[in-house]
Structure formats: C-alpha cells, structure tokens
Structure 1
Amino acid sequence: MSSLRPSFRLVYIFLYNLFQFCGHTWILANNIARFLTFGKDALADTFYSVGFVMSLCQLLSILELFHIADGIERARLFSRFFQVVEKNLLLITVIMLEEIQSKPVVCVQLFLWNIMDLLRYPHELLCLMEKPSITMLWTRYTLWIPVYILSAATEGVTIYQALPYVEPKVPESSSSNSTGSSQLHLSFALMFYLPVLALGASVTVWLLLKERKHHLNRWNKQTKKKK
C-alpha cells in the first residue's frame, strides 16, 4: 500500500491542476467570446455568466494550503495563504453585494485572476509530467508578479467601490436595527481590510521575488550540471 501512495498523490495533484487549468481557461474564453460578441455591454453581466465557475475554482484553491503543508507542492505557505484568503474574501463580498457585480472593475478583476492562474497551472502540469520549460518557468515567476500587483490594486478599487453600498442607513423602525448594525460591521470590516490588503500584498510580492530568484537559480545550476 505504501508503494501506491506516491502514485496516488501524483494523480491527485495532476487532476487538481488540470481541473483548475480547464476551469480558468473556460472562464477566460467565455469572457473574451462575450466581449467580442456584445462589446462593452458584456461587462455588466460578466459575474452572472462566470461567477459560479470562478467561485468553485477559488473555493477549491483552499486545498492548495493543505498541498503545501503536506509537501505535495513546494511553495511558500504565507504568500499562498494570503492569495487564497484575499480572493475568497473578495468573492464573498461581491456575492453579498449584488450592486457591484455589474461594475467594470469586477470584470477586470476576474480577467486578472484568470491570467494569474493560467500563468501558474500550466507550469505546474509540465513539472508534474517531468517536462519543465525555462520559458514557462520564467513566465510563471516573472510575469506573474506584475499581474499580481495589478490584481491587488484592482481588489482595493473593488472594495472601495463597495463601501457606499454597505454604509448603514438611519433605521426607520426597531426591526431594521439589526440590518443597520450588520451593515455597520461590514463597512468597518471593509475599511480595515484595505490597509491589511496593502500590507499583505507588499509582503507577498517580496516573498514572490525571493521565490523567483530561488527557482531561476536552481534551474541555472541544474543546466550547468547537465553540461
């Protein structure tokens, strides 16, 4: 049974990365097709079209924290933890506030998330198949960083645009006191989240730069040994 364990783990992580790659490919293709067909009008209902699949992919991304902790995947736990948490928290906010689902910034956010994941999962699949590519490696750890910075900035804009929709209104009766209180708590939570997002994203970028240097140096050493 112990000899079957590594192969089972390999099949599992391969299928996971393949599912994520196919899911994000479908989302990106759907967005591009709708934009080419309907133009700017497609931005208004982007979340309605791909929100379920995006939410499913991001929910499953929580498994990546267990992959890293278990040693199936080699990555920095803090940076991945922050990325997973910030995406899922923002998705929960967008789902709760239907008013911002049609905002263009949400469409941009989904587009950037897809670009990030489509830069990562193909590289992971090639590594699992023992067919690493220096092009994919460089793309994964170089282009991914500026796209992440843009994504974090867009998340901040999304949260900022969501604030007016959670500002508590003066209750007209006692029955609406609980609603006003929950809106107040959510408003404070979103305002507190903005500086946390800025700090966490800065630390994540620093860790990603260190991770990029490590992987590129290891590739160079392996290339020299083969020569």
Structure 2
Amino acid sequence: MTKSTSRAATATSGKKAPKPVNPVINLYLLAYNWASFAAWSYVLLQTVRTLLATGNDYTKVYAVVGDQLVWVQTAALLEVFHSLFGFVKSPVGTTAMQVASRLLLVWGICTLFPVPEVRSYWAFTTMTIAWCITECIRYAYYALNLVNLGPSWLVWCRYTFFYFLYPIGAGSEAIEIYQALPFAHTVHPGYYYFLCAMLCIYPPGFFVMYTHMIGQRKRYLGPAKAKKTQ
C-alpha cells in the first residue's frame, strides 16, 4: 500500500493515525521502569527480611530501609515530568498529587523534620509494604507494555490490588501525619497547621485517586474489554 493510499484510508475511516513511537523515549522509559521495579523490589525484600529477622519488630524497619525509601520515592518526581512532556498518557494532576503526598512523608516527616515516634510506628511498615507492592506491579506492568509483553495476570493485578493496597497505603500515610502533629507544633505553628491541612485534604484526594483507578479497571478489565479480547 502506498503512502497516499494509507492517508486516504485513514481519512475515510475517520480515525486519527497513531502517533509514532520515539525509540529514544521508549528506551529511556524501559530503563526507568525496570530500574524503579528493581529498586522497589529491593526495599520490599529488605523490609520483609528485617521483619523476619526481628520477629516482626516493626520499630527496626526504618533503620534498615528508611534512607533507601527516601531516594527511591524521590526518583518518582521524574514521572511528573514524563506526564508533563507527554512521554506517558498519565494525567499530570493525579500523578503530581500522589508523588507530592509521598514526598511529604519521606522528606517532610521522616527526613527534614524527623519524628522518632513516626519512624518507629507500625504505620511506617504497613505504608512501606503497600507502596512497594503497588510500585513493583506498576513498574513491571509499564515496562512489559512497552515491549508488548504484558501478561493478562499482571494486568489483573495492576487493576485489582489497588482495592486493598490504596486504603492501606493512604490510611498509613494519614496515621503517620497524625502521629507527627505533636512534634510539628514544637517545630513551628505553620508546620503544624500545614500538616492539619494535609490531613483534611487526604479524604477528597483519596477519593479522586481511588475512583480514578476504579475507572481504569473498568476500562481495562470491564465486560467490553473482555468481549473485545475474546
């Protein structure tokens, strides 16, 4: 088929021609996703090993994975730029919201203004595990999709596990912020009221993210998708 025939067919069908894939961007995203998968897998492995070695003593988890978690999560800032520059189709708003909320935890509460009570609280461990499982699934899904190898079971995990991982993760984040409030008031009143405001934002923010994922699940695993696959 000639180029002119191809253009004519596209115009006749009324469908927009697919955007050509930039091989450089594709290779970069492939490397980024696999590197992120490996990093989150390592944090998860270290967390589980620490719990097993200490008899499920969650107070020891931060000392082992705290620094690693900070930098692995900070690297996710790149995803905001991926969305902003059109490297991926993820909405900029929801991507920025999720990254910002996590950076508040790892930097604002655990690093810049460290609160020992927050680091050793059980919610830090549940938050870390929920984050790790979510990101391992997500990055493996993205990486395999880039080479058209995404297995159906991984698609199912990507759009099903969030039902319990999101509440565990977001709930643990909110508990961590709440635990930091007494200390925040001694640092500066502005910091205290900022954390209070963040706690107020969490319910609507969680609703936005949760319903967004439910919509995505219907899109990828709904009856119409299943019928098309058959």
Pair in the same fold by TM > 0.5 = yes
- Kept in 1, the 8 Å contact 2:51–2:61? The answer is no
Aligned match of 1:133: 151
- Report the AA paired with residue 94 of structure 1: C
Distance 1:53 1:184 in 2: 30
- Report the AA paired with residue 65 of structure 1: V
Shift of residue 215 of structure 1?
2.4
Alpha-carbon distance change, 197 to 147 in structure 1, aligned in 2, over 3 angstroms: same
Distance 1:222 1:61 in 2: 34
Aligned match of 1:19: 35
Alpha-carbon distance change, 9 to 221 in structure 1, aligned in 2, over 3 angstroms: farther
**In structure 2, the residue corresponding to 1:166 is in which secondary structure?**
helix
Shift of residue 196 of structure 1?
0.5
Aligned match of 1:97: 114
Percent identity between the two aligned chains: 24
Shift of residue 76 of structure 1?
2.7
Shift of residue 18 of structure 1?
0.7
Alpha-carbon distance change, 147 to 17 in structure 1, aligned in 2, over 3 angstroms: same
Distance 2:48 2:91 in 1: 32
Q: Does 1:50 align with 2:56?
A: no
Structure 2 unmatched runs, 5+: 1-20
Shift of residue 70 of structure 1?
2.4
CA RMSD, aligned part only? 1.8
Distance 1:65 1:215 in 2: 23
Shift of residue 214 of structure 1?
1.7
Higher helix share: 1
- Aligned residue pair count: 206
Distance 2:61 2:166 in 1: 21
Distance 2:193 2:208 in 1: 23
Q: 2:182 aligns with which of 145, 152, 164?
A: 164
Q: 1:74 aligns with which of 89, 113, 117?
A: 89
Q: 1:190 aligns with which of 192, 195, 205?
A: 195
Alpha-carbon distance change, 46 to 167 in structure 1, aligned in 2, over 3 angstroms: same
Distance 1:219 1:121 in 2: 22
Q: TM-score normalised to the size of structure 2?
A: 0.83
Aligned match of 2:78: 63
Shift of residue 45 of structure 1?
2.8
Shift of residue 140 of structure 1?
0.1
**In structure 2, the residue corresponding to 1:44 is in which secondary structure?**
helix
- Kept in 1, the 8 Å contact 2:37–2:140? The answer is yes
Shift of residue 222 of structure 1?
4.9
Structure 1 unmatched runs, 5+: 169-181
Aligned match of 2:142: 124
Shift of residue 75 of structure 1?
2.0
Distance 2:153 2:90 in 1: 19
